[in-house]
């Protein structure tokens, strides 16, 4: 049991399960164009596996498994420790995950070789890999905005040291935190506008129409669909049918939309399809991370 109200636990679990559901849904159409998706599926709206990774139905990709690795490090240390997080990422990589982005792989290998916890700033490292995995930090620091900012940037820089990656990861994490805490919808809108004001490249209205692994494209896609669709399923279906980096856009949209609606409103047919071991790990981590958050 956690000391948090049941509604907070429901929204936190909605965010974490939503991440995995968006990942599993989007993985089937990753690297496809919208036209290719339409030709093969009409509208892709069910968790079916397959895709370029030839996944089993309900399987997830690095978006979810890196999040779980980060969550394990926080729970095992009963707090955030950058070395413990890096070590957990090493264990994750050595366990041969189904996929791993180039920037994540390069950062983890640098840590293995040199022991350095921070990548050098690199304009080529503006991918979405740090953004996709940060949810355990959000949950563990739910009462402490300063800790959220410190821990977010520390885990980002293990693999991604890029100003737009930092800005996007922190802004989306603040949005998820606000939703889990049950703050008004206007708070999310303000946080999104603050990001766009500070970094106009993230402007998502009108929607530019790209959903690549570049963190700007990812955030534009996610925020456009999140604000356009109140319903969880509608939001995720619209997101992943943009194709390109659909597992990650689906995962990030799932975090936000799941935090907004709570676990009790997630589509049952999707939950039933999700890998049972992954679901069990998510449920256990959510409770443990919230229990930890109560102490900070």
pLDDT, tens only, 251-263: 999 999 999 999 9
- The CATH code of the domain that includes 268 is 1.10.4080.10
Q: What is the mean pLDDT of residues 187-205?
A: 98
Q: What is the mean pLDDT of residues 28-41?
A: 98
- pTM score, whole prediction: 0.97
Q: Do the domain assignments include residue 243?
A: yes
Q: Is the pLDDT of residue 274 over 90?
A: yes
Q: Is the pLDDT of residue 193 over 80?
A: yes
Residue-range definition of the domain harbouring residue 155: 6-293
Q: Is the pLDDT of residue 1 over 90?
A: no
Q: Do the domain assignments include residue 26?
A: yes
Q: Which residues contact 193 (CB under 8 A, 6 or more apart)?
A: none
So what's the pLDDT on residue 3?
83
Separation CA 209–CA 118 (nearest Å): 33
Q: Is the pLDDT of residue 9 over 90?
A: yes
So what's the pLDDT on residue 295?
85
So what's the pLDDT on residue 163?
97
Q: Do the domain assignments include residue 1?
A: no
Q: Is the pLDDT of residue 210 over 90?
A: yes
Q: Do the domain assignments include residue 34?
A: yes
Provide the domain count of the chain.
Answer: 1
pLDDT digits (tens, 9 = 90+) for 276-285: 999 999 999 9
What is the 8-class DSSP label of residue 206? S
Q: What is the mean pLDDT of residues 122-139?
A: 97
Q: Do the domain assignments include residue 219?
A: yes
The pLDDT confidence band at residue 296, using thresholds 50, 70 and 90, is confident
pLDDT digits (tens, 9 = 90+) for 50-67: 999 999 999 999 999 999
Q: Is the CB of residue 249 less than 8 Å from the CB of residue 219? A: no
The pLDDT confidence band at residue 165, using thresholds 50, 70 and 90, is very high
Q: What is the mean pLDDT of residues 77-102?
A: 97
Q: Is the CB of residue 214 less than 8 Å from the CB of residue 236? A: no
Separation CA 13–CA 136 (nearest Å): 11
Mean of all residue pLDDT scores within the chain: 97
């Amino acid at each position: 049991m956690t000391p948090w109200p049941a509604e907070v636990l429901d929204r936190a679990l909605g965010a974490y399960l939503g991440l995995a559901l968006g990942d599993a849904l989007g993985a089937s159409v990753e690297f496809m164009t919208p036209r290719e998706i339409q030709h093969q599926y009409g509208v892709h709206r069910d968790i079916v596996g397959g895709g370029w990774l030839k996944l089993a139905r309900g399987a997830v990709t690095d978006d979810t498994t890196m999040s779980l690795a980060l969550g394990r490090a926080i729970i095992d240390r009963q707090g955030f420790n950058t070395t413990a997080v890096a070590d957990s990422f090493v264990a994750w990589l050595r366990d041969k995950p189904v996929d791993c982005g180039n920037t994540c792989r390069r950062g983890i290998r640098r840590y293995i070789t040199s022991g350095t916890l921070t990548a050098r700033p690199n304009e080529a490292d503006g991918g979405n890999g740090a953004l996709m995995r940060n949810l355990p930090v959000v949950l563990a620091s739910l009462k402490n905005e300063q800790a959220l900012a410190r821990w977010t940037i520390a885990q980002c820089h293990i693999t991604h040291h890029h100003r737009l990656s930092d800005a996007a990861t922190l802004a989306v994490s603040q949005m998820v935190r606000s939703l889990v805490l049950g703050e008004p919808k206007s708070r999310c809108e303000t946080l999104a506008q603050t990001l766009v004001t500070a970094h106009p490249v993230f402007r998502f209205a009108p929607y530019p129409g790209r959903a690549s692994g570049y963190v700007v494209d990812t955030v534009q896609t996610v925020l456009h669909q999140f604000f356009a669709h109140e319903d969880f399923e509608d939001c995720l279906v619209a997101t992943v049918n943009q194709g390109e980096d659909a597992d990650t856009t689906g995962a990030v949209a799932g975090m936000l939309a799941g935090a907004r609606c709570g676990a009790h409103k997630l589509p049952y047919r999707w939950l039933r399809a999700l890998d049972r071991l992954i679901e069990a790990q998510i449920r256990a981590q959510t409770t443990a991370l919230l229990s930890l958050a109560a102490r900070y």
